[in-house]
Amino acid sequence: MTKTLRGADIVIKTLERAGLTTIYTLSGNHIMSLFDAAIDSKLELFHVRHEAATVHMADSFGRLTRRPGIAWVTGGPGHANAVGALFTALGQETPMVLLSGHTETDQLGRGGFQELQQVEMAAPVCKASWMATDTRTVGMELAKAIRIATSGRPGPVHLSLPSDILDPSVPEDSIPWPTEADFTATPVGLSNAAADTILSLIAGAKRPLIVGAPVLANRPGRDLLARIETALGVPTVISEGPRSFNDATLGRYAEVAKDADLVVLLGKALDFTLKFGEAPFFDPACQFISIDPEGALIDRATKAKGAALIFGCVADTYPAGEALIARAKTKGDAAWLASSRAAFAARPDLMATVVSKTEGKLHPAEVFRGLAPYLDRNPDAVLICDGGEFAQWGQAMLNNDRRMINGVAGSIGGSLPMAAGARTVETKAPVFAVLGDGTFGFHMAELETAVRLNLPFIAIVGTDARWNAEYNLQVRDYGPNRTFGCELNQTRYDLVATALGGHGELVEKAADLAPAIDRALASGKPAVINVMIESIPSPVMRR
């Protein structure tokens, strides 16, 4: 008798072939066959409380491993819940695949259960989005999604899986199984001629600057940029934050950009984070080079800069960086490199000494001075800095090459599931998430996920009872008497953690922070350290 396999079995076996056995998911009608097929497989399912959390966890996995994170959700509202989180992954160039259940194809246009235009909904926040239409080839469709997610400029890909593709069975000998080549695309390198041209143009500049893409915001990427600096003697910087030249991580970045006479965009799109390369942020005479995986973005940069874009070529970011290192023969001005590095490292003096002026509250700088030794002692520690003013202090003050932020998308709220996702990758070193009290509310239920699945991390919540970033925007743009809709309660978020089975700590004095961190680490549980803080603008606004 011919053996048969369901579409769901084909999906599971394809993921096993790809070596992608870590799955972030939330169950639902349209994907129950996937859950059934996974029972006897090598897959490990991490079952969460909200579909957006599956995407944030897959995003975290992708950033840490540079391999595609896999999220499964059901169709209709489950898919809709997940889609918003894709925007963060897209902005950070994270390889991941969202697999969504879907209404049966024979019900489309007839008012099927949870029928929704899922492909069209996901398309704006994905590299590619489509629906599988044949049970026999669903494995090949999945391999294609994985290949697209990891090729060129990495990013999220969505594939909808209708129930009448997953549930039916087909003869096993009729199934075209993907090979290793189907999962990966050949990297596009930088030719020797192009590398030599770029290096010659860099050598002819007095103050060149290399700006790296968000895809480099990880340990391998930071190492690559450090080696480029060593080989070329040219300053490098990663542009991954939504605050442009006010990125708290980069000190006096704006001064370096304004002084540069040549900017090399290493996979970095010419966008709002670079003020589109315009004056007064850049010298009007500044020239640009674009090395990009996408020809369309080179064309966009050419349209924006005209003759000032003196060279452009298509190449993947990592291979292009390696090619520049391999072909380098001369080094740039050591004084320019040193002054640029000093500018990037510059921080307001107050960070080292400022203390709270309010009884029962810490200044944000006190919090991160207290956390810094734990990162210094644990080089493999993972740090997630969410959006908002509080986390900006963390970005400015903490040094960590396994750091993840909210990114170019400027989103907030993903840090708790991202911390849980990080723990599925990093099983030994500490995982810290720093976030404000407003942000904490987005995914606080994922603390139960972390407790249930034994994914310990420490969330340090800065509680100032305010949406502080928005409050400061209102003060800046409309005046201190025109603030509205930004106040929160001084909630005991530490008690939320204990109620859900985790560990909680309340900190109201700087001297109590280190003992609280020690107890949280010793607990072995997901922990919330609820730190009462003064409501202080980000360090950038104070410079």
State residue 42's pLDDT score. 96
Q: What is the pLDDT of residues 161-211, one digit of tens each?
A: 999 999 999 999 999 999 999 999 999 999 999 999 999 999 999 999 999
The fraction of the chain above a pLDDT of 70, given in percent, is 99
C-alpha 298/C-alpha 289 separation (Å) is: 9
Q: What is the pLDDT of residues 117-135, one digit of tens each?
A: 999 999 999 999 999 999 9
Arithmetic mean of pLDDT over the chain: 95
* Rounded (10°) angle between helices 219-232 and 317-327: 30
Of 139, 157, 183, the residue at which a domain comes to its end is: 183
Output the DSSP codes for 390-429: HHHHHHHH---TTEEE-TTTT--S-HHHHHHHHHHH-SSS
b/e per residue 123-134 (b: at least 16 CB within 10 A) = eebbbbbbbbee
C-alpha 464/C-alpha 461 separation (Å) is: 9
One domain, residues 229 and 331: yes
C-alpha 402/C-alpha 349 separation (Å) is: 25
Residue 16 pLDDT greater than 90, yes or no: yes
Q: What is the pLDDT of residues 38-78, one digit of tens each?
A: 999 999 999 999 999 999 999 999 999 999 999 999 999 99
One domain, residues 137 and 214: no
Q: How confident is the model at residue 282 (pLDDT cuts 50, 70, 90)?
A: very high
One domain, residues 339 and 314: yes
Instruction: Give the Cβ contact number of residue 42 at 10 Å.
Output: 11
One domain, residues 354 and 458: yes
Tell me how far apart the terminal alpha carbons of the chain are, to the nearest angstrom: 75
CATH number at residue 257: 3.40.50.1220
Residue 541 pLDDT greater than 50, yes or no: no
Q: Is 205 within 8 Å of 286 (Cβ atoms)?
A: no
pTM: 0.96
Instruction: Give the Cβ contact number of residue 192 at 10 Å.
Output: 11
Residue 245: partners with Cβ closer than 8 Å, 6 or more residues away: 253, 254, 257, 275, 281
Of 361 and 467, the one with more pLDDT: 361
Sign of the alpha-carbon dihedral angle for 470, 422, 146, 314: positive
One domain, residues 50 and 175: yes
One domain, residues 336 and 428: no
* Rounded (10°) angle between helices 389-397 and 468-478: 100
- Identify the H or E element spanning 34: helix 32-38
One domain, residues 388 and 490: yes
Residue 298 pLDDT greater than 70, yes or no: yes
Which of the residue ranges 129-138, 343-352, 514-523 would you say has the lowest mean pLDDT? 343-352
- What is the distance of C-alpha 450 from the center of its chain? 20
Q: Which two tokens stand for residue 18?
A: 């790809």
State residue 469's pLDDT score. 86
Q: How confident is the model at residue 540 (pLDDT cuts 50, 70, 90)?
A: low
CATH number at residue 529: 3.40.50.970
One domain, residues 341 and 402: no
The fraction of the chain above a pLDDT of 90, given in percent, is 87
Phi, psi of 3, rounded to the nearest 5 degrees: -75, 140
Q: Which two tokens stand for residue 134?
A: 């044949």
One domain, residues 372 and 517: yes
One domain, residues 165 and 224: no
C-alpha 377/C-alpha 66 separation (Å) is: 25
State residue 543's pLDDT score. 34
Determine the structural domain holding residue 416 and report its residue range: 350-542
Of 158, 183, 208, the residue at which a domain comes to its end is: 183
One domain, residues 341 and 358: no
Helix residue ranges, H only, 251-378: 253-259, 295-305, 317-327, 334-345, 350-353, 364-377
Q: How confident is the model at residue 542 (pLDDT cuts 50, 70, 90)?
A: very low
Q: Amino acid identity, residue 225?
A: L
Of 345, 375, 399, the residue at which a domain comes to its end is: 345
One domain, residues 106 and 206: no
Q: What is the pLDDT of residues 209-230, one digit of tens each?
A: 999 999 999 999 999 999 999 9
Q: In the chain, how many domains are there?
A: 3
